[in-house]
Amino acid sequence: MDYFSRMTSKTTSLGKKNVVIMGRRTWDSIPKKFKPLNNRINFILSRSELMLSEYKDVYCFKSLKEAIDKLKENDFKNIYENVWVIGGSLIYDECMKSEYFYRWV
């Protein structure tokens, strides 16, 4: 878990964070005391509306396209450095078919 945390949160630009994209079941599997994944911007893909107002730096999107649109916004692209896809399998599959994801670790 240390490797995962270090890789997904480490940035070279001061003041920027990385984005982690996950599905709702992956989000649900994270113990409450670790939500949201700290020092990262959490993107959750879910067809259902989630109650996330208690969390900072957490966004919910109904589709990968919506999440990518957010990443492309001028104001938003200045606050993140890298994007990490952390699961589940449906999210991985969709991202592998996307033109926006090109490097797999």
CA dihedral 81, 42, 76, 53 (to 10 degrees): -160
Per-domain boundaries in the chain: 63-105
pLDDT per residue as tens digits for the range 43-75: 999 998 888 888 999 999 999 999 999 999 999
For residue 105, pLDDT over 70 is answered with: no
Q: What is the pTM of this model?
A: 0.92
Average pLDDT over the chain reads 93
Distance of alpha carbon 94 from the chain centroid: 14
